[in-house]
């Protein structure tokens, strides 16, 4: 993995040397809290890049989110994901590939919801690292919180797009660089060194169009945002920060005492849906 000191996305790439927005961000996994990485924003497309290279196999080997379970929180978010696909023509009898599926929670959710033609792929997860079905085509390919982890987002998009049948759907969910401030180095969405390239909205749309897709829906909020108490990205972000800023909190035992000590956190638990962060986006493309 090479250092990124020139934007590898846009036609008029900015460089680290001429960047006006730079931050030094520590890893937000507790085991690696002493590791610090440099983020910079491209003056051309507004995307955010990590300047240093990183041995991701080392960081994923002890990645706490590998122990993530399918909880009520995830089920609400995953229902939102499926509902969006169905609004744009996806039917439960169709084939779907989750590209960059992590430990496969969304795959498991869909199968438990009665979908039988669902598959996953993730190079960092043993269960899903074999990819024999990547030579086939699907009615829908989805990828959530994965393209920002790729060393080459354009190549990632190209690989995912190739697997979509004519007229099929491609859903990309990822942090939105436009809504992120590098002055807030504790923001969980920065998530170093895992998030190698955080795309701007315009850049993500451009990558889709390069592959012959047109956006049919753009959401500037996380699929986990809902009116259900505790299930919104504003609350989860503040909760992680309140527990020390480490994403390990997602898989650790809940700390209800934090709500008693922080009225603002308690308010977000119930009303965070109405406080839009716009630091995440889901772009749904259709193959034209």
- Structural domain including 114 reads 64-221+281-287
pTM: 0.94
Among positive and negative, which fits the CA dihedral 102, 107, 109, 110?
positive
pLDDT digits (tens, 9 = 90+) for 4-40: 999 999 999 999 999 999 999 999 999 999 999 999 9
Q: Do the domain assignments include residue 30?
A: no
Helix (H) or strand (E) run with residue 59 in it: helix 56-61
| Alpha-carbon gap, residue 278 to 195, rounded angstroms | 17
Q: Do the domain assignments include residue 50?
A: no
Q: Do the domain assignments include residue 196?
A: yes
Band of residue 90 on the pLDDT scale cut at 50, 70, 90: very high
Rama region for 70: left / alpha / beta (φ>0; ψ in -120 to 50; rest): beta
Q: Average pLDDT for residues 178-205, to the nearest whole number? A: 97
pLDDT of 271 higher than 90: yes
Q: Do the domain assignments include residue 10?
A: no
Number of H helices, E strands in the chain: 8, 10
pLDDT digits (tens, 9 = 90+) for 101-139: 999 999 999 999 999 999 999 988 888 987 656 678 999
How close are the terminal C-alpha atoms of the chain, in Å?
33
| Whether the Cβ atoms of residue 224 and residue 73 lie closer than 8 Å to each other | yes
Helix (H) or strand (E) run with residue 218 in it: strand 213-219
Q: Do the domain assignments include residue 209?
A: yes
| Whether the Cβ atoms of residue 251 and residue 176 lie closer than 8 Å to each other | no
Determine what percent of the chain is predicted with pLDDT higher than 70. Answer: 98
| Whether the Cβ atoms of residue 147 and residue 194 lie closer than 8 Å to each other | no
Q: Do the domain assignments include residue 191?
A: yes
pLDDT score, position 18: 94
Q: Average pLDDT for residues 179-183, to the nearest whole number? A: 96
pLDDT score, position 129: 85
Which CATH number does the domain housing residue 116 bear? 3.40.50.150
**Per-residue tokens: 123:** 């190079």
The number of domains in the chain is: 1
Spell out where 13-163 has E strands. 22-26, 36-41, 48-50, 96-99, 118-121, 138-144
CA-to-CA separations, 69 to 3, 64, 91, 105, 202, in angstroms, rounded: 34, 11, 26, 7, 33
Band of residue 284 on the pLDDT scale cut at 50, 70, 90: very high
Q: Do the domain assignments include residue 203?
A: yes
pLDDT digits (tens, 9 = 90+) for 212-245: 999 999 999 999 999 999 999 999 999 999 999 9
Q: Do the domain assignments include residue 123?
A: yes
């Amino acid at each position: 993995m090479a250092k990124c000191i020139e934007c590898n996305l846009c036609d008029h790439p900015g460089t680290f040397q001429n960047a006006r927005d730079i931050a030094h961000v520590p890893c937000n996994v507790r085991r690696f809290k002493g590791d610090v990485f440099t983020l910079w924003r491209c003056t051309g497309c507004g995307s955010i890049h990590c300047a240093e290279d990183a041995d991701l196999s080392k960081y994923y080997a002890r990645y706490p989110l590998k122990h993530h379970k399918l909880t009520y929180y995830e089920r609400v978010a995953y229902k939102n994901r499926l509902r969006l696909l169905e609004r744009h023509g996806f039917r439960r009898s169709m084939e779907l590939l989750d590209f960059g599926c992590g430990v496969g929670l969304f795959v498991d959710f869909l199968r438990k919801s009665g979908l039988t033609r669902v598959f996953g792929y993730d190079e960092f997860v043993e269960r899903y690292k074999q990819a024999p079905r990547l030579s086939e085509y699907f009615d829908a390919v989805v990828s959530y919180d994965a393209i920002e982890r790729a060393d080459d987002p354009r190549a990632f998009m190209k690989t995912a797009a190739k697997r979509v049948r004519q007229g099929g759907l491609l859903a990309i969910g990822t942090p939105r660089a436009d809504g992120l401030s590098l002055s807030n180095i504790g923001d969980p969405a920065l998530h170093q060194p895992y998030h190698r390239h955080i795309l701007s909205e315009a850049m993500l749309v451009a990558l889709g169009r390069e592959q012959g897709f047109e956006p049919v829906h753009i959401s500037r909020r996380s699929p986990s945002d809902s009116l259900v108490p505790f299930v919104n990205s504003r609350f989860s972000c503040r909760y992680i920060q309140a527990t020390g800023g480490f994403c390990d909190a997602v898989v650790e035992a809940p700390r209800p005492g934090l709500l008693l000590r922080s009225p603002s956190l308690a308010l977000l638990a119930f009303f965070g849906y109405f406080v839009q962060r716009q630091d995440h986006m889901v772009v749904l493309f259709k193959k034209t």
